[in-house]
A and B are shown apart, each in its own frame.
Chain A
Amino acid sequence: MSRRLEGKVALVTGGTTGIGAAAVQRLSEEGAKVWFTGSKEEPAAALCAETGAVFRKHRVQDEAAWGTLIDDILATEGHLDIAFANAGTEAGDGSIEDVSLDGWNSIIAVNQTGVMLTVQNAIRAMVKNPGATGSIIINSSMNATRPLGNYVAYSVTKSAVCALAKSAAVYCGMKKYKIRVNAILPGVVETPLITQIMNAQPDPAAARAMYDGMAPMGRMAQIHEISGLVAYLASDEAAFISGAEIAIDGATTAGMMGV
């Protein structure tokens, strides 16, 4: 493993499981000091023991708690260089005809407002770096460009954060900050949530085949296949990439097959 991130400090939201946890592992392996947030304390403790990362119980939509979190990172580490706005939810979602206002609002709060607060607070910390440097990665979804009929709020918020990434990237350019903001758009990833859903089906093998078949590549992504892209974007190797939307979906959105 290369050590491209030696000396950098990273924040990963929603880092206790799935794509976020894999990012905590990968960024740590590449030399970064990682802080991560979420609500699941048990997997968080195991991840801290494994990687040396720091866990803070924190909800991304909780504006008041952001100040303390960033203050603690800066007081302990001295700087923040990388933020992976990963926390997201689809709980309470539905179709445009059925979704409840509560469901809609709670998804907007996490997936959209939570990401905005993550990017806003990360930028406020990163401007304190010499030369105002940093890299922010937003975890969007392929459903930003191929919305799902039964997940209207999820699709809408994942699309919104792509515009957020671009707006923040352009703003940082206007201010001459060397802070880059990009969005990644994963396809179906075999997260613990998906595994749980598959295993709960009457025929788990058939459910797996269905999920595998959603991508032309014929399989779901593994969580560690997403963190390679996160690490690349976090590193100085990607110093000219900003405002980009990067699909990582086994060719799902390259055509219309299997979507």
Chain B
Amino acid sequence: MTMELGSQRLKGRVAFVSGGLRGIGLACVERFLAEGAEVVLSDLDAADSEAATSVLARLGQAASYVSANVAREEDWERAVAMVKERHGKCHVLVNNAGIDLTGPVESLSMEGWRRIMSINVDGVFLGTKHFVPMMAESGKDFRGGSSIINVSSIMGLVGMNEVSAYNASKGAVRLFTKGIAIEFCQKKTPIRANSLHPGFVETPLLKAGFQRWVDQGFAEKPDDLVAGVVASTPIGRLAQPAELASAAFFLASEDSSYMTGAELVIDGGWTAQ
């Protein structure tokens, strides 16, 4: 696949990506950097951890890291303060950090339910809440304004067996995004907000989830589950994280200046069937 990299269409912009050390988040960070943006990424790992230092060393000077838990409001306050001090502005926010939870509804613990809601839903709310003032100001810098990209899922569009908690959390992200999109329009705040709906993407989260299903006896090995997903996807393969990053880049750039409150489904035709 040919990706046009380095068009510099994000030059002068500052982006924040939560869950930026791996998977879709890391791919977004890499793409934004390649397009000329400066990027701050967050994740749970400590700043001096092997995971954080090795990624940051590779990303170079335009990237910086803040260790933050998206479910904790004080961590967002700290992240916003860090971005303000380092860059003084923010044009793009990718609320990407997320976890999954599967199992029969009657077996789900209240603790597990609260945990997925706190990360997948509270995290998106808190990131939006704390970045909006700075992004409203920075949105005057470019046609199309600032852009909030909330990573939902195809599981925010359709239900799936034993995925109810994840379904609920991603469905919440979808409608939260529409709500804030209309709110920003109403107040003439120059921020657009859209949701991304990835299908099955080859990420650490997917691998861990498939391994858990194998452990629970749903399949003999993770590859069998991958084969099943591939067979049920019209395009006939898993997505690569870079393909979600190209969508995030589109939504971050001026090219999507009239898109807000919209859903971008990237699922190889899975929900079209």
A residues in contact (CB < 8 Å) with B? 1-4, 165-166, 169-170, 172-174, 176, 178, 180, 186-187, 215-218, 221-222, 225-226, 228-229, 231-232, 235-255, 257
Contact = CB atoms under 8 A, between A and B. Distances in A.
A242 B269 contact: yes
B205 interface: no
B247 A238 contact: yes
9 shortest A-B CB distances, which residue pairs? A173-B234, A243-B272, A254-B261, A228-B255, A251-B261, A216-B185, A254-B178, A237-B246, A243-B269
B273 A250 contact: no
Interface residues of B, number: 45
Interface stretch (B17-25, B58-66, B88-96, B235-243): B235-243
Contacts of B182: 216, 251, 254-255, 257
Given A242-B235, A244-B264, A216 B272 contact: no
A240 B177 CA distance: 23
A105 B178 CA distance: 36
B258 A218 contact: no
Contact of A240 (B256, B262, B266): B266
Contacts of A2: 4, 7, 9
A232 B255 contact: yes
9 contacts: A169-B234, A173-B235, A173-B268, A217-B185, A237-B4, A240-B243, A242-B272, A243-B269, A251-B178
Given A242-B234, A251-B185, A226 B261 contact: no
B147 interface: no
A218 B123 CA distance: 29
B199 A169 contact: no
A228 B254 contact: yes
Given A169-B234, A173-B234, A229 B185 contact: no
A169 B254 contact: no
Nearest to B143: A225
A250 B262 CA distance: 8
A254 B260 contact: yes
Given A170-B273, A235-B4, A236-B2, A247 B263 contact: yes
Given A216-B261, A237-B243, A246-B263, 5 more contacts: A1-B7, A226-B258, A228-B250, A240-B267, A246-B262
B233 interface: yes
